[in-house]
Amino acid sequence: MDVWMDNGAYIITYPISAGKDLNMVFSHHTPDPVANVQPVGLAEVKEQYKNFDPRIQKVISMIDHPIQRWPLLVTGPLKSWSSACKRVVLIGDAAHSMVNHMAQGAATAMEDGVFLGVVLKAVIQGSINLKTAVDLYEKERMPRARRKQEVSFLNGEIWHLSGEAAKRRDAAMATELGGEGKVQMRTPNLHGDPGMMREIYSYDAGAHAAFAVEKELRGREAVAEKGWRKDIRKETYDSVVGWFAEDRVEAKL
């Protein structure tokens, strides 16, 4: 994935369809709020991105179909994701739609589904009741979704910077921009930041749900699995060692 940034705008390019097509996402601020999809002329797009790399401008000139501007809309944060009777729950965009700047909307919905699947399995097995399952879902998933919403907003701000702020951003990313493939321990490039990538892509919704159920059943925060050191929680083990250990112990319900 490549990100092209200029004052108040950015473009993401990445291959799709097994490398047969190149997808491009154009993003910029507009003077007035956009609430619905709007038709846009090619001339307006060219004007908006006229200061970008000549390669980008060449690709824009090749557009031969109608162009539409899509607004970025968000939901929440909500106080609850469930009905009073706990028989209806919200997942995905219905619960926490977010701007696309971290590309986590659909991924977060899938996390919701996996988490719900595990806690509802515990209901079917008789380990917990439905109310408890939904309560665990909201308690554990709502903070993570809120965090993703916030980070997505902030990454959009980073990519849309202009003026002196953009210069400071670029200076902080200088090592990466040098083309030597170096990785910084902390960088405004959140898609290249080791900590952020670990937080997003190392997350295991199924393990998280299983651990939440086990905490509920045991009635305490620290869970010591058989054969583990009693002063280490399973969630800590999973995040530090479990992601690569071949003999990883899976939580059982």
Q: Are residues 167 and 49 in the same domain?
A: no
Q: At residue 222, does pLDDT exceed 50? A: no
Per the structure, the complete domain to which residue 100 belongs is given by 93-242
Task: Tell me whether residue 78 is in a domain.
Answer: no
Q: Are residues 103 and 138 in the same domain?
A: yes
Q: Are residues 210 and 97 in the same domain?
A: yes
Task: Tell me whether residue 161 is in a domain.
Answer: yes
**Tens of pLDDT, residues 239-252:** 666 666 545 444 44
Q: Are residues 120 and 206 in the same domain?
A: yes
Q: Are residues 187 and 154 in the same domain?
A: yes
pLDDT recorded at residue 172? 85
Task: Tell me whether residue 132 is in a domain.
Answer: yes
Mean pLDDT of the chain: 86
**Tens of pLDDT, residues 93-115:** 999 999 999 999 999 999 999 99
Crossing angle of the two packed helices 205-218 and 130-159, in degrees rounded to 10: 140
Q: Are residues 9 and 98 in the same domain?
A: no
Task: Tell me whether residue 88 is in a domain.
Answer: no
Alpha-carbon separation of residue 60 from 25, 53, 69 (angstroms):
12, 11, 15
Task: Tell me whether residue 74 is in a domain.
Answer: no
Specify the pTM: 0.80
d(CA 106, CA 143): 17
Sheet (strand 2-6) strand order: 2-6, 9-16, 21-28
Q: Which one of 53, 69, 85 terminates a domain?
A: 69
Q: Are residues 106 and 138 in the same domain?
A: yes
Q: Are residues 30 and 151 in the same domain?
A: no
**Tens of pLDDT, residues 21-68:** 888 899 998 888 888 999 999 999 999 999 999 999 999 999 988 999
Alpha-carbon separation of residue 77 from 27, 32, 141, 201 (angstroms):
23, 24, 12, 22
Alpha-carbon separation of residue 52 from 6, 47, 77, 115, 167 (angstroms):
7, 10, 35, 42, 16
**Tens of pLDDT, residues 120-150:** 999 999 999 999 999 999 999 999 999 999 9
Instruction: Let me know: does 156 contact 103? Beta carbons within 8 Å.
Output: no
Tally of domains within the chain? 2
Task: Tell me whether residue 85 is in a domain.
Answer: no
Task: Tell me whether residue 79 is in a domain.
Answer: no
Q: Are residues 124 and 191 in the same domain?
A: yes
d(CA 53, CA 153): 25
Instruction: Let me know: does 116 contact 123? Beta carbons within 8 Å.
Output: no
